Structure 1
């Protein structure tokens, strides 16, 4: 006797399919980040100093996102990166990487987080990315000390963030389980 398909089976199936598609896209984006940081050209890999932040960026952007959401999130990533690059380079230039200690990094992160969180018009995605970038820049400066470059260190954080955003876009353009074009048209 063949099992009959009920309306409940279709509802259950339709509820887990988008979650599975989202998980596959997130895994694909993380795979792109991993392959790039491990097997990419050496000229590119030297700028990708924080691959963990690339993974975090993809995990913030990809889940349950359509193509338009990912492109909007890439704009938020660019906005957050500009918000971080200017003050962090200025702070590192004024204080000097060799003078950074734990207390100064804590104060710099707190003040920078306050400045980023203050405007209500800034999107939550931009705030999340900016907070993480500030922590990576200032804590990395404390860890690496005098060998930290004033511009190159924040640029490495920005490059790692950009890799996560680019991997998110590429994962949504991949035609499995559904091409993002069909998500836009439906």
Structure 2
């Protein structure tokens, strides 16, 4: 068995970071190609590709497939929270009456409602905060041009694109094979024991 050295450990950590960067690049490429080259009926729902990139980076960076699938669960919970809160506030006030002050108040109240439960994961809260801001800013900009539901659907579909791209990037078999994962974990355990 080979001797574990600091140089080997540094090389393995560097390799792990490089693989993570390649996975993130692949996921962002999937988001970009889908946002630009998908059919028009799909593209009309993907109005916020920047948030798709943010979701992708949050889910893929330094993650395994299990972490990414758990992140997709957090995306689903955050999207449900945002859909409920934003649909209620948009229905009560009406999108045509949203201005800067009303949107700021709605973001503050909705953010408080998202942050209130202690059991919610930090990733869920991060994604929900971003979605809330985008929904209300989009409502201020576009107002009554769209219905109450369309603002939240566009944000939810852009977030879903980021989550799907993250899972697809993690399922791509190269460069991180199971052998390298097990070897890296084994080296980490050996170092912790010494």
Q: TM-score, normalised by structure 2?
A: 0.88
Query: Could you say what the CA RMSD is over the residues aligned between the two structures, in angstroms?
Result: 1.8
Q: Count how many residue pairs are aligned between Structure 1 and Structure 2.
A: 181
Q: Which residue of 1 aligns with 2:52?
A: 54
2:188 is matched with which residue?
A: none
Aligned to 1:49, the other structure's residue is in SS state: coil
| Residue 124 (structure 1) aligned with residue 122 (structure 2) | yes
SS of residue matched to 2:103: helix
Cα deviation code 1:18-55 (max 9, x no counterpart): 00000000000000000000001111100011100000
Aligned partners of 1:14 and 1:111: how far apart in 2? 46
Residue 8 of structure 1 and its aligned partner are, at CA, apart by 4.3
Closer, same or farther in 2 for the Cα pair 1:176/1:96, shift >3 Å?
same
Using the size of structure 1 for normalisation, the TM-score is 0.92
Structure 1's unaligned 5+ residue stretches are 1-5
- What is the rounded CA distance, in whole Å, between the counterparts of 2:84 and 2:66 in structure 1? 28
The equivalent position to 1:64 in structure 2, one of 62, 65, 69, is 62
Whole-angstrom CA distance in 2 between matches of 1:180 and 1:155: 37
Show the counterpart of 2:27.
Answer: 29
Q: Gapped runs of 5+ residues in structure 2?
A: 186-194
Q: 1:95 to 1:27 in 2, by over 3 A?
A: same
Cα distance in 2, alignment partners of residues 184 and 126 from structure 1: 29
CA deviation digits over 1:88-135, x for unaligned, max 9? 112112211110000000000000000000110000000000000000
Q: Which residue matches 1:3?
A: none
